[in-house]
């Protein structure tokens, strides 16, 4: 058994080494794949705050992923066409600057998560799963039938947005940026888990009655967790949109929400680096299995089933043994 800390370090190094190797050997597509892993991992890390730490099984996180994506799409679209976002009561222009877009993406998805959380956290268990799913679908159908920003066609952004001091069009530099964001969010996530809030949230997951009996409001804790979680997933959405230079309603589809959960499960529920491992494994499988058979999703399904039924700790659990309490 390996200490989880060293395993985490190895994971981050591997995620860095693969694209660097690809950069040296001029395999830009591998860098793109690694970037995709990092972004999906980021979305998973966001969900894991709600799901792993808070025990909130959200089947609607695609809503925040999509909102982040559309925050990028809409801002960049207006900048690209030189049309203002709105003129009255005050002028808002589009932008091609990543930091601004990220900020908007985080704020918008946090706001949405707060509103959705306010309604859906009144419910628990299956009701919570289903109502988050329904909210996700609401966004999905809304974007499809809302004509202003392309409807089902989505929005294409021809040139990747800029970040001060970097050439984001260069795959390895964009990867570096995404990797940096992922690392920061992982640190934040670890800090959060060890903070006062993290302690109380984790306790609320295990025993709501206990938390209430010491005078802490479990609902408020969960609402905050859900909001932060949504914000991070929204940030991932903005990055994904920039990777693809494209946004569309499929970012809101419930399959997306399902895949986020799959990352977490493959890696190991509640593990800080679970989503990173899960996303990596998912992308690798997609490529290996996809190369073997047109019906690769059957094998993916079978593997997923096997992990759920027989390997509950996920991949990290298999290597580092059962989880130990944070202290």
Q: Whole-number minimum distance, CB 202 to another protein, in Å?
A: 7
Residues sharing a CB contact under 8 Å with residue 117, sequence separation 6 or more, in sequence order: 222, 223, 226, 227, 230
| Comparison of 10 and 138: residue with beta carbon closer to another protein | 138
Q: What size, in residues, is the chain?
A: 327
| Comparison of 10 and 156: residue with beta carbon closer to another protein | 156
Provide the token pair at 29: 């597509």
DSSP per-residue string spanning 218-244? HHHHHHHHHHHHHHHHHHHHHHHHHHH
Residues sharing a CB contact under 8 Å with residue 93, sequence separation 6 or more, in sequence order: 78, 79, 84, 85
Residue 269 contacts another protein per CB under 8 A? yes
| List 1, 24, 91, 126, residue binding another protein (CB under 8 A) | 126
Sign of CA dihedral 206, 56, 230, 29: positive
Q: Whole-number minimum distance, CB 230 to another protein, in Å?
A: 15
Residue 120 contacts another protein per CB under 8 A? yes
Contact at 8 Å (CB) between 271 and 316? yes
| Comparison of 10 and 192: residue with beta carbon closer to another protein | 192
154/127 Cα distance (integer angstroms)? 31
Residues 65-84 that bind another protein (CB under 8 A): none
Q: How many other CB atoms sit within 10 Å of the CB of residue 79?
A: 20
Residues 233-252 that bind another protein (CB under 8 A): 240, 244-246, 248, 250-251
Q: Whole-number minimum distance, CB 144 to another protein, in Å?
A: 5
Residues 30-49 that bind another protein (CB under 8 A): 30, 32-33, 36
Among 241, 172, 179, 239, smallest CA distance to 30 is for 172
Provide the token pair at 107: 């704020």
Q: Whole-number minimum distance, CB 139 to another protein, in Å?
A: 9
Residues 82-111 that bind another protein (CB under 8 A): none
| Comparison of 10 and 250: residue with beta carbon closer to another protein | 250
Task: Tell me the site size for another protein, rule CB under 8 A.
Answer: 97
Residues 160-219 that bind another protein (CB under 8 A): 171, 191-192, 194-200, 202-203, 206-207, 209-217
């Amino acid at each position: 058994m390996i200490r989880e800390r060293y395993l985490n370090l190895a994971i981050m190094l591997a995620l860095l080494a693969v694209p660097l190797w690809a950069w040296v050997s001029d395999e830009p597509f591998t860098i793109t794949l690694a970037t995709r892993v990092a972004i999906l991992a980021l979305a998973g890390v966001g969900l894991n705050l709600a799901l792993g730490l808070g025990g909130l099984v959200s089947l609607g996180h695609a809503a925040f992923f999509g909102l982040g994506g559309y925050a990028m799409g809409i801002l960049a679209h207006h900048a690209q066409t030189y049309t203002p976002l709105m003129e009255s009561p005050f002028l808002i222009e589009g932008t091609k600057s990543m930091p601004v877009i990220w900020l908007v993406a985080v704020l918008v998805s946090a706001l949405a998560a707060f509103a959705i959380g306010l309604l859906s956290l009144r419910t628990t268990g299956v009701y919570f799963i289903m109502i988050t799913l329904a909210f996700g679908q609401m966004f999905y159908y809304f974007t499809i039938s809302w004509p202003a920003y392309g409807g089902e066609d989505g929005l294409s952004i021809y040139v990747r947005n800029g970040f001060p001091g970097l050439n984001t069009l260069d795959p390895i530099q964009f990867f570096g940026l995404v990797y940096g964001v992922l690392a920061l969010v992982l640190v934040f996530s670890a800090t959060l888990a060890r903070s006062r809030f993290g302690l109380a949230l984790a306790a609320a997951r295990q025993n709501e009655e206990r938390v209430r009996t010491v005078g802490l409001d479990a609902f408020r804790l969960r609402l905050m967790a859900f909001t932060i979680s949504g914000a991070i997933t929204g940030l991932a959405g903005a990055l994904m949109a920039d990777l693809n230079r494209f946004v569309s309603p499929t970012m809101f589809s419930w399959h997306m929400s399902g895949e986020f959960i799959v990352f977490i499960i493959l890696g190991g529920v509640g593990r800080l680096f679970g989503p990173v491992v899960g996303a990596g494994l998912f992308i690798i499988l997609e490529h290996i299995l996809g190369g073997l058979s047109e019906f690769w999703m059957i094998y993916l399904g079978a593997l997923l089933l096997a992990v759920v039924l027989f390997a509950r700790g996920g991949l990290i659990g298999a290597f580092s043994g059962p989880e130990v309490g944070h202290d």
